[in-house]
Structure 1
Amino acid sequence: MFIGAGVGITPLLSMLRTLADRADRRRVWLITSARGPHDLMSRSAVEEVRARMNLKVIEVVSAPEPGWTGEVGRIGHDLLSRNLPRRTHRLEYFVCGPAPMVTSVTGDLAALGVPHRRIHTERFGSV
């Protein structure tokens, strides 16, 4: 499970490319967020990787434009509970983004039963 906001997609995309290059067929999730659809970074690169692996992409925007059909709001407990697989404790979680987002998502994952040892984070900006 990869969860990123803004430029936090960059290291996640690197790991996804590695999985795709290795022809890894496991089910992988990517949840990415930005202010609006045009702010979602590296969408074409994500699509290229999705074509080569078993990747489910969930895009979340806080300021949707007319016609937006993806998730709206922020990555949080409700969105995660709707989109995570049932056996959350069996996956590894990689979370990258602004410090407040990483802190919030880490807490939400723990509240959903994900063991802390399975949550790997990279934060940027102020802590």
Structure 2
Amino acid sequence: MAMKWRPNDLRVANVLRRNFSEKEIDENFRADIDRREFPEIIGFYREINPLLSMTFVVNSSAFSLCEDYQQEAWNPYPEILPPEEGEYLITVKIGERSEVRIGRWGIVGGDGEWVGEIQAQIQGFKELPVPYKKERKHG
């Protein structure tokens, strides 16, 4: 299973993901680790045009090494975020119990989030299963 460095803080994830792909975030983190043994801060650089660039400096504790998104399995949230907008099965922690619901992942104000859900209660998500279809019998 492929492992990737990802932001484990949703606020950091939303800022970085507006400007960098998941692959760029992972590769940049790995490059910083290769240059310096587990640095305290990680720098992210993007040139906007020849006259303008931007740099983000993020504390390395805001990242975790975790498995890549798995379409058929439960994915831990917020370590892994849904790859696109849409509906997913989600596990929500309510007090001492957990329950499964259908949640909508969408872009709200430029950030990805679970629409209508309390972010801190969500533990994981997975793709919705294919709906049941009655098989036709031949004959």
| TM-score, length of structure 2 as denominator length | 0.26
More strand by share: 2
| TM-score, length of structure 1 as denominator length | 0.27
Larger radius of gyration: 2
